Amino acid sequence: MGNPIRVKGPALPGVTIREATVGDADSLARNLRRQDREEIEAGSGESPLLVLLMGLKGRAYVACEDDEPFLIFGVTPDERDKRVGIIWLLGTDKTDKFPLTFLRQSKEWVEDLADGFDVLMNVIDERNKMHLGWLTWLGFEVVHRFPEYGKQGLPFLMFERRSACVSQQWQ
């Protein structure tokens, strides 16, 4: 479903975006940012590698600098409703090396990932302020707060972004 990611505008110097592989998931699982690892532990309690492998079941892409993956992102159709895409992104500390270009290009990536879905959504650990700010900047809205969520019973936020053609009454 959907098209490959298009990279428009100024490219990240020395960075390539390509489809993610199992090897990329393995490399990234060992090097995730502390906040991303904590979010996985709090939400699902699963290993980072298992979470990343589940993400590969949908459309998944990786950003590499000199062939070293530092960011992985994608969208997986919701098992209950194929009109809903579960969007996700995890990275290493190296992601911070490209803040402005990353922000600009991530907006384009989200547009490409939205292709074929009426709604993009997921949940994030409320403590992860960086992810919350990024998602708000991308046009996502927090639609629900879970006071106790996941394996650790911590507050999580459900966020979503509806396509322009979807009615507000869509459920």
Looking at the DSSP assignment, which residues form a beta bridge with residue 157? 124, 145
Contact 96, 65 (CB under 8 A): no
* 107-153 pLDDT, tens digit each: 888 888 999 999 999 999 999 888 888 888 889 999 999 999 999 99
pTM of the model: 0.85
Q: Give the CATH number of domain 15-118; options: 3.40.50.720, 2.60.120.260, 3.90.1150.10, 3.40.630.30.
A: 3.40.630.30
* 40-88 pLDDT, tens digit each: 999 999 999 999 999 999 999 999 988 899 999 999 999 999 999 999 9
Domain spans, the chain: 15-118
Compute the distance between CA of residue 104 and CA of residue 36 in angstroms, rounded to an integer.
Answer: 21
Helix or strand holding residue 106 (H, E): helix 99-114
CA-based nearest residue to 78, from 91, 88, 66 = 88
Contact 114, 85 (CB under 8 A): yes
Side by side, the strands of the sheet bearing 15-19 are: 15-19, 59-65, 68-77, 84-91, 119-125, 154-162, 141-149
Tokens of 13: 């110097």
| Per-residue confidence band for 97, with pLDDT thresholds at 50, 70 and 90 | confident
Residue 20 CA to its chain's centroid (Å) = 13
Compute the distance between CA of residue 96 and CA of residue 59 in angstroms, rounded to an integer.
Answer: 23
